[in-house]
Amino acid sequence: MTTASNPDRAAHRQSLRERNGGQILVQQLRIHGVKRVFLVPGESYLPCIDALYDHQDAIQPVVCRQESGAGYMAEAYGKLTGEPGICFVTRGPGATNASIAVHTAYQDSTPMILFVGQVGNDFIEREAFQEIDYRRMFGEMAKWVAQIDRTDRIPEFVARAFAVATSGRPGPVVLALPEDTLWGKATVPDLPRYQRAHAAPTPAAMASLETLLAQAQRPFLLVGGSGWTPQSMRQIEGFAERFALPVGAAWRRLECFDNHHPNFASHVGWGMGDALRARIRDADLLIAVGTRMGEATTEGYTLVESPLPRQRLVHVYPDANELGRVFQSALPIAADVVSFAQAVDTLRPAAEPAWGGQTRAARGDYLAQQEPAPAPGPLNVNAVACHVRDHVPPDACITVGAGNYALFAHAYHRFQGVGTSLTPTVGSMGYGLPAAISAKLEYPDRTVVCYAGDGCFQMNLQELGVAMQYRLGIVVLVFNNGMWGTIRAHQEREFPGRTIALTFDNPDFSELVRAYRGHGEVVGSDAEFGPAFARALEFANTQRLPALLELRYDPDGVGPGITLSQIRAAALARQAQAAS
């Protein structure tokens, strides 16, 4: 710092007023661009709640019903915007409830900051009321966990939290807020808004990529991860077009590439088609951009083998620590998707790619799977997913939680960019409804449809109260088959005919939503769904309240083109063959 700037800084300090910790923290959130916080109020961070009163023109507090719902909403906000989703919860039970969202943000590489109330420093290490050591509790599921023990250091910690949450591989940060820090007062300057650091590919790396493309005969482009923008998506689409590359989206990252694009070949991971699986397995060059290629995408690290893939692998990822961690690649490139997309935007093939026919064949395979598969019973939920696809606007946001019912949306819906899909790659249940609420808050003019299993929905159905309170016209499709369908499928596969502990009685979901001033209907046949869905959309759009359709269907139809009867029969046949 120059000597000339020292007097300026001193004068700035003299002009500051004394503030308590809550006032300092919330002012920092405003400076960093926060426009919405999700919270379940708690006395442990009361000064922060009070400080929000003075920032109502810029920051909207969203009062949630349970901390897991609040955390999921914040995580969904991070997915939608690329900025950290902000969640406040109280100490102890509040933090443990919110931990599922932190784990989701970690495995989904979503920027998020969780602020947790904490006992005062004078009570630390006495097992005071609701006391937990958050460094130990969250250490394995967050990028950084810290406790702010001094009021005057709040701006420093908050600025670092934003930088850590968004840099390299994005993820969650947890900051504990002791009561004496929040109630304490300090005269401290605010820090400026954080600046995101971008990792960019080197010229040498791009030259090597061009060489590998020139040598390839069966290349495949796999996209996924977080940090995508509309511009980076268009640039990657242009790259795929110029090089005639077939493109797959990593597990539950279908929004990362326009599914309507002629180069799109479907999602990659559990439930993919045999033709696509063979295409990736036999590829001589696999360019993976933004995705870690986890267990689900690689089908247990068999499609892309660890540690040494059979394909020549170009792995593009923003965090160098992830490169070489699971897969030894032919060309590791430490770059985020924005910087990599800018770099490939300048690449041009030296000659017409020879594999264009393979790409067209891959697209043909994908389109052939877009007709609804048959299913038992009067209501075909394959056809339901196709109807939704064909009757919502292109920018509609589809949210799902976890369960076999999610396969219907991922098999048939055609997503086309950031904000059109919200789903947890970690496979955490109860996510769909809070995510839909977050999406509707962020995009009030968009259609938002939540796919929810009957079990998944009941994990966070209380957040219907948020949709009611904030007048959010979302549509919820509850897939009611009266059982934990995914586990039932696994049980039939491993222990056929020995069903136990997987079924349950459900409430009338259509009546339940009416208690939240919403619209509800029960649908039991194909003929009923179309008109009911139209009524649900109309109600949600005009009344700005939730609409719910309870889909009662044959539980034998457990997935797209899959029945429990088939799974059981195949398992029994294997057992008989092994016994013979």
In the predicted model, is pLDDT for residue 4 greater than 50?
no
CATH architecture of the domain with residue range 17-186:
3-Layer(aba) Sandwich (3.40)
- Mean pLDDT over 144-171 rounds to 97
Q: What is the 3-state secondary structure (H, E, C) of 501-538?
A: CCECCCCCHHHHHHCCCCEEEEECCHHHHHHHHHHHHH
In the predicted model, is pLDDT for residue 246 greater than 70?
yes
| 560 contacts 373 by C-beta, under 8 angstroms | yes
In the predicted model, is pLDDT for residue 13 greater than 70?
no
Please report which confidence band the pLDDT of residue 16 belongs to, taking 50, 70 and 90 as the band edges. Answer: confident
Question: What pLDDT sits at residue 486?
Answer: 87
Cα 297 to Cα 67, 124, 219, 414: the distances in Å are: 29, 43, 17, 19
Q: Report which of 359, 291, 304, 546 is spatially closest to residue 440, judged by C-alpha positions.
A: 546
Q: 80-96: per-residue pLDDT in tens?
A: 999 999 999 999 999 99
Question: What pLDDT sits at residue 120?
Answer: 66
Please report which confidence band the pLDDT of residue 46 belongs to, taking 50, 70 and 90 as the band edges. Answer: very high
Question: What pLDDT sits at residue 337?
Answer: 97
- Provide the token pair at 126: 């006495």
In the predicted model, is pLDDT for residue 395 greater than 90?
yes
- Mean pLDDT over 54-58 rounds to 97
Distance CA(470)–CA(303), nearest Å, equals: 45
Q: Report which of 194, 239, 248, 189 is spatially closest to residue 221, judged by C-alpha positions.
A: 248
Domain boundaries defined on the chain: 17-186, 203-367, 381-570
C-alpha torsion 248→253→259→261, nearest 10: -60
Question: What pLDDT sits at residue 14?
Answer: 44
In the predicted model, is pLDDT for residue 6 greater than 60?
no
Cα 523 to Cα 273, 306, 408: the distances in Å are: 29, 45, 17
Please report which confidence band the pLDDT of residue 2 belongs to, taking 50, 70 and 90 as the band edges. Answer: very low
Pairing of β 185-186 and β 19-20: antiparallel
Instruction: Note the CATH number of domain 381-570.
Output: 3.40.50.970
In the predicted model, is pLDDT for residue 124 greater than 80?
no
Question: What pLDDT sits at residue 86?
Answer: 98
In the predicted model, is pLDDT for residue 73 greater than 50?
yes
Distance CA(219)–CA(221), nearest Å, equals: 7
| 340 contacts 289 by C-beta, under 8 angstroms | yes
Domain 381-570 in the same topology as domain 17-186: yes
- Mean pLDDT over 309-331 rounds to 97
| 61 contacts 53 by C-beta, under 8 angstroms | no
Cα 414 to Cα 18, 194, 274, 432, 448: the distances in Å are: 54, 35, 20, 18, 14
- Mean pLDDT over 229-234 rounds to 96
H-helix or E-strand spanning residue 60: strand 60-63
Beta bridge partners, 503, equal: 483
Question: What pLDDT sits at residue 129?
Answer: 65
- Provide the token pair at 482: 């009266």
Q: 420-464: per-residue pLDDT in tens?
A: 999 999 989 999 999 999 999 999 999 999 999 999 999 999 999
- Mean pLDDT over 258-273 rounds to 94
Distance CA(580)–CA(100), nearest Å, equals: 46
Query: What's the half-sphere exposure (Cβ side, CA atoms, 13 Å) at 554?
Result: 17
| 477 contacts 385 by C-beta, under 8 angstroms | no
Question: What pLDDT sits at residue 477?
Answer: 98
Q: Which CATH number does the domain 203-367 belong to among 3.60.20.10, 3.40.50.700, 3.40.50.300, 3.40.50.1220?
A: 3.40.50.1220
In the predicted model, is pLDDT for residue 3 greater than 60?
no
Q: 506-526: per-residue pLDDT in tens?
A: 999 999 999 999 999 999 999
| 337 contacts 289 by C-beta, under 8 angstroms | yes
- Mean pLDDT over 335-344 rounds to 97
Q: What percent of the chain has pLDDT over 90?
A: 88
Which pTM was predicted? 0.94
Task: Give 461: exposed, middle or buried? Use CB within 10 Å, 0-12, 13-18, 19+.
Answer: buried
Distance CA(7)–CA(331), nearest Å, equals: 51
- E strands present in 318-412: 331-334, 397-400
**Mean pLDDT score across all residues of the chain:** 94
Q: Report which of 361, 415, 74, 450 is spatially closest to residue 233, judged by C-alpha positions.
A: 415
Lowest mean pLDDT among 273-277, 529-533, 546-550: 273-277
What lies within 8 Å, CB to CB, of 152 at 6+ separation is 186, 187, 188
